[in-house]
């Protein structure tokens, strides 16, 4: 079960501030994020940032970066 919950706009209150939410837009799309503030005319919503390609690539590179020093010294140990 997801930690995100859906609450209709007319039921949003102060108890939802700072909690992860799923917000349905009028065009039918869903966005995920955190409610920062509830006002009379709407909410201040901070969307959750999806992992960018750069971050994913950096994580993959870091895994290889750990093995590069070991790969460098293995041929010297064998011969």
Average pLDDT, the chain: 69
31 in Cβ contact with 25 (< 8 Å): yes
Per the CB < 8 A criterion, the answer to whether 34 and 48 are in contact is yes
Q: Are 20 and 2 in contact (CB under 8 A)?
A: no
3-state percent helix, strand, coil for the chain, nearest multiple of 5:
40, 30, 30
pLDDT tens-digit series, residues 21-73: 787 777 888 888 888 887 777 777 788 875 555 555 555 555 556 566 665 66
Long-range Cβ pairs for the range 40-47 (8 Å, 24+)? 43/9, 43/12, 45/21
Question: What confidence category does residue 1 fall into, taking pLDDT thresholds of 50, 70 and 90?
Answer: very low
pLDDT in tens, 4-24: 556 666 677 777 788 887 877
Domain architecture of the chain: domains with CATH: 9-78 (2.40.10)
Q: Using a pLDDT cut of 70, give the percent of the chain over it.
A: 48
Global pTM reads 0.45
């Amino acid at each position: 079960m997801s930690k995100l919950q859906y609450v209709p706009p007319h039921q949003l209150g102060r108890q939802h501030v700072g909690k992860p939410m799923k917000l349905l837009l009028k065009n039918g799309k869903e966005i995920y994020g955190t409610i920062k503030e509830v006002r009379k005319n709407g909410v201040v919503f901070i969307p959750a940032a999806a992992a960018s390609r750069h971050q994913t690539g950096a994580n993959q590179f870091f895994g290889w970066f750990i093995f590069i020093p070991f790969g460098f010294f293995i041929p010297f140990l064998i011969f």
